[in-house]
Amino acid sequence: MSDSVQIIETTDITSSNKCDFCSALCCSYITQELDTPRTMHAFDVLLWQIAHKGVHVFKDGNGWYLLAMTKCEYVMPDNRCGIYETRPMICREHSNDACEKEVPINEGCDLYFQTFEELDSYCRKRFKTWDKRLEKFEAERAKEKANK
């Protein structure tokens, strides 16, 4: 074993030094709380959003969220905060007691969708008439054009 390899026992990791062993996972995405989607239209909007690269959707015990996988531009090469003294309140409020290193975000959710296909499959199970929404939309569009 090389002298440069350091073995860290999990018992050596505490809440005060936990961030020293992390690649700034909590700074690699942002979330935005959503109104609970209940209608086909609301889920269709989620499909549009998740069709964009790096956008995921999840539901946990607190509600529904849009998740954008994008790293904070102020994370330094050593994974520390480059604006620590002036960081936003949400960063100051964040606790590493239940952090992403221990429970990845996709494992701590009731529902987690990373792709259009995953969410579309969920919608097909949730709404028996999921595909008919497209037919209805096209029929209404044709009717509007005919009336002009």
Q: What is the pLDDT of residues 33-73, one digit of tens each?
A: 999 999 999 999 999 999 999 999 999 999 999 999 999 99
Domain boundaries, the chain: 18-147
pLDDT string in tens for the chain (148-residue length): 445 555 555 567 676 676 777 777 788 899 999 999 999 999 999 999 999 999 999 999 999 999 999 999 999 999 889 999 999 999 888 877 777 777 777 788 999 999 999 999 999 999 999 999 888 888 888 888 898 8
pLDDT value for 100? 73
Report angle CA 9, 10, 12 to the nearest 5 degrees: 70
Residue 84, φ and ψ in degrees, nearest 5: -50, -45
* Strand partners of residue 34: 64
The residue ranges of DSSP E strands in 26-106, in sequence order, are 30-34, 55-60, 63-68
How would you class 27 by CB atoms within 10 Å of its CB: exposed for 0-12, middle for 13-18, buried for 19 or more?
A: buried
| Cα–Cα dist 43/18, whole Å | 38
